Amino acid sequence: MINYILSILLIFLISPFLTGLIKSFKMYMLFKKPLSPFQPYIDFMKLIKKEVIYSKEASIISRISPFLILAPIIVVVFLLPPIYKGSYYISFMDAFTITGLLSLSTFFLMLLGLDSASSFGGIGSSREAFISALVEPAMILTIFAVSLMAKSIGLGSAAINLATHFPTHHAASFILAGIAFFILLIAENGRIPVDNPETHLELTMVHEAMILDTTGANLALIETAGALKFGVFATLFATLFLPFGANLCWCLAVTVFILKLILISLVVGWIEINTAKLRLFKVPNLLGIAMIFGFLSLVTFYIVGV
């Protein structure tokens, strides 16, 4: 039980570091003077002290939605697969629950964007709805393929099955599912080919447009939710698609896990500096590719045989 609490605390604490790391890695690669990777913590401490201002048109939604954006993601963190063997985990939750909880968080984010009655918020909400509607089918296909390979629909037991006896004859199918999930990781977290998290340019912003009117402590909560969401996806990728190192003793296993998270962040940062942002109406193509890879993974699974 104490292991479980500690691993959850680890994910909570490391998530802002990962987003900060992506940013400083990008700045380093573009020959700028890099920010400290711990900048998100400093921003959080600064924002949490500031006064909260609501716009005149704002209703009760603006007051409650920062908490409702953060809460489902916190619940998801408690349902993640164990990061080392022997740790306690919640076995009765499957991946569809996690998808649903993340959608709930996105739903309140969209409501927040609409509630401030500025035109940017509306634009941002409609774009977010467009993208997250396309993410769902690919996500379900991918997760279904992984569950088939791991012979368990529950997320925790799937990760343990993959770590203990990896299905080597399904490796092709596994790789394809991994690629699909990585595209989804980028799309869901609003990283560069889909959305640029750093600009405030009206044509391109999706996530920033919705939170343009939030201030102070609310903004701190929403930024934390974004960082945690990246942490959740990175943990899922590290435990399901890089299933090694979990059988070592706990100190080594945690080190390997943190290294895997850092590796994922660096890969995401490396993709960001090498690609241009897609036009909004080309985003379905990218997610279509994810869908094909998910489908292909299923087909290959059935061809190779159970």
Which CB sits closer to other proteins, 96 or 166?
166
First to last CA, the chain: 35
Task: Give the residue from 202, 206, 223 showing the smallest Cα distance to 45.
Answer: 223
DSSP states of 96-120 as a string?
Answer: HHHHHHHHHHHHHHHHHHHHT--HH
- Judged by CB under 8 A, the chain residues 177 through 196 that form the site for other proteins are 179
Does position 137 bind other proteins by CB under 8 A? Answer: no
Which CB sits closer to other proteins, 259 or 304?
304
One-letter identity of residue 157: S
Which CB sits closer to other proteins, 108 or 301?
301
Does position 175 bind other proteins by CB under 8 A? Answer: yes
Binding mask 281-300 for other proteins (x = CB under 8 A): ---xx--xx-xxx-xx--xx
Which CB sits closer to other proteins, 129 or 175?
175
Six-digit token string for 199? 């600009």
Does position 127 bind other proteins by CB under 8 A? Answer: no
Query: Quick count: other Cβ atoms within 10 Å of Cβ 117?
Result: 14
Residue 178 Cβ vs other proteins, minimum distance, rounded to whole Å: 9
Six-digit token string for 175? 């790789």
- Judged by CB under 8 A, the chain residues 153 through 172 that form the site for other proteins are 168-172
In angstroms, the Cα distances linking 244 to 49, 84, 216 are 42, 10, 41
Q: Which residues bind other proteins (CB under 8 A)?
A: 168-176, 179, 284-285, 288-289, 291-293, 295-296, 299-300, 303-304
